[in-house]
Amino acid sequence: MTRLRLGFFAAILLFLLIPAHAADLVYLNTPQGADRLVTAKLRYQFFAVQPYVETQQNLAFCGPASMAAVLNSLGLQRPSVGPLYPYSYFTQDNIFTPATQHIKSYIRVSSQGMTLAEITAFLNTLGVKASSRYGDSLALEQFRALVAEVLARPDNRIIINYSRKPLGQEGDGHLSPLTAYDEASDSALLLDVAKFKYPPVWIRLADLLDAMRTTDPDSGKSRGLVLIEKQP
């Protein structure tokens, strides 16, 4: 009887720990993930941004890594990099300028990461036009239309701020560029800058929006997205 009781309570506990709705993640380095990229109509930005995606250099640098990749992909005038002379490049280090360090210092970003408002403010000082949208202000239809609109424009980019927890991934708050959309599966492709953890991944828009609606404890607001536009 005791064993039956323990088995019953173990089953109840397991049921409570399993999410009611598990995210359907499809990683790019699988046959299904590769096929989805081949058939997706809105995929140009994958090829534009992917060559510039580098692994974030510490656990809190998903913001700087995402910004550097996006900025390098837009054909902007790049800052000089001493060790790479005479070539220029945006790096996770040189996006910290006197202007951006007034927003948040290198040391603080290294230990705390970045909020949606902070990454938007950084980008607006680095030669592009950036604006943010909070996840809890978006309906799924609005989010879908926004993703399609941005991905259809060669000079626009989008960075997603989301929590990994609702997706069943390890970790919590994160930032990565979104670079493709597949209409058939209603999923978007994120180029994860934490390459030591996960490859690029297709996530259903409904699941991604749920992950964006989570609260960032540093800002007290929901996570969301940053829209980036190359200035004329």
User: Annotated catalytic sites, by residue?
Assistant: 62, 174, 192
Question: Chain centroid to CA 81: how far?
Answer: 26
Nearest to 119 by CA among 74, 173, 170, 191: 173
Distances 47 to 19, 26, 112 between C-alpha atoms, Å: 34, 19, 31
Structure tokens, 155: 């000079």
Strands (DSSP E) found in the chain: 26-27, 128-134, 156-163, 173-182, 187-190, 201-204, 215-216, 221-222, 224-230
Answer whether 187's CB lies under 8 Å from 204's CB: yes
Which single residue is written with the structure tokens 């790019």? Answer: 28
Beta bridge partners of 158: 178, 227
Q: Is the peptide bond before 86 cis (omega within 30 degrees of 0)?
A: yes
First-to-last alpha carbon distance for the chain, in angstroms, is: 75
Fill in the amino acid letter for 99: A
Return the closest-CA partner of residue 178 out of 149, 163, 150, 158: 158
